[in-house]
Amino acid sequence: MSSPGFTALPDQPLANSFALPARACCLYQVDDVDALPEALRQAGSTALMLGGGSNLLFVTEQIDSAVQVLDKRIEMSENHGERISITASAGVIWHAFVMHCLAAGAYGLENLALIPGTVGAAPIQNIGAYGVEVMDLIEQVQVHDRHSGQTRWWSHAECGFSYRDSAFKADPQRYAVLRVKFRLWRQPRLQLAYAGLDTELARAGIRTPTPQDVAAAVIRIRQRKLPDPQRIGNAGSFFKNPIVPQSKADALRAQYPNLPVFPAGQSDFGKLSAAWLIDQCGWKGKRQGDAGVSAEHALVLVNHGAARGSELLALAREIAASVATRFGVAIEPEPRLIGAHW
């Protein structure tokens, strides 16, 4: 069944990077993002908003309906002195958008290269990597409120951004992202302080890096550290780095001098390395049936072939329990759980 701007397809598999056997009784594919509110209305109040499926763990294997935006338009806006505005539709592939901006001479996103997913998912998750969070480069987000039926542009403040979180994530069934407006730099302002990035650039013999050099270095690091979802099912980093009171971070650091502690944006809090905590509990490379932990990176849960979402979730809960028992620290998942609660 087709309507202006979208098509409804019965009994469709749902793409997800964990390679889990999820299906929707009806999948609404939206080619014009302005038709998204009507597609959501027809799909029903429980319809799942699906991006690239890279940040979802399907614990249930069958859902009634899902809506996916395929609109990939990118629009250059006015220059504002040192800044330049670029607006992208929700369906634009994130990595392609980063590379498009670099080619257009719009800088700031280079540290976020090769993150899977779409532009529409970026503000919901407040994606970040290598010392950069996307919230610092977002000017506005066009949002459809499924409760009120209104569509409007939200200011940066209204988005309620925090570490790997946003106002959208607090109620994912209510808010749908149509477009994101980014405010980037016309001249490079490189962020090179994150551990490993400067080493990678030095290894390549680059002393005065360009934004393109930084993006290439990030791509190499990610390809080396994180398993390719095309080869083995995974959603990248499964757990958030926990943020704890600085007193707790200091006490743990005194007991475990090698524990990495990062600034958390607040003077009285510190951010711990979830990968280090999990690794110390002996989980790297472990597997339970086809649900496992990557041998390359302790933060990454993998599907070795025939794991179910419920098995991956059970493994994640065991990992979190062991970290809490040993270190007294709670860790939480980054992916959204479909059909279960953490």
For residue 185, report the phi and psi dihedrals to the nearest 5 degrees.
Answer: -100, 145
For residue 92, give both structure tokens: 């634009």
164 is catalytic: yes
Token pair of 295, please?
């041998």
Give the integer Cα–Cα distance in Å for 27 and 45: 14
334: annotated active-site residue: yes
Angle at 105 between CA 100 and CA 106, to 5 degrees: 75
| Residue 91 burial class via C-beta count within 10 angstroms: exposed 0-12, middle 13-18, buried 19 and up | buried
Which residue is catalytic, options 164, 220, 253, 287? 164
Among residues 89, 127, 91, 90, which one has the least CA distance to residue 109?
127
Q: φ and ψ at 293, to 5 degrees? A: -115, 135
- 138, 180 in Cβ contact below 8 A? yes
Of the candidates 237, 308, 311, 336, the residue annotated as catalytic is 237
Of 89, 133, 334, 336, which one is the catalytic site residue? 334
Distance CA 299, CA 292 (A): 11
Give the residue numbers annotated as catalytic, written as ranges.
164, 237, 334
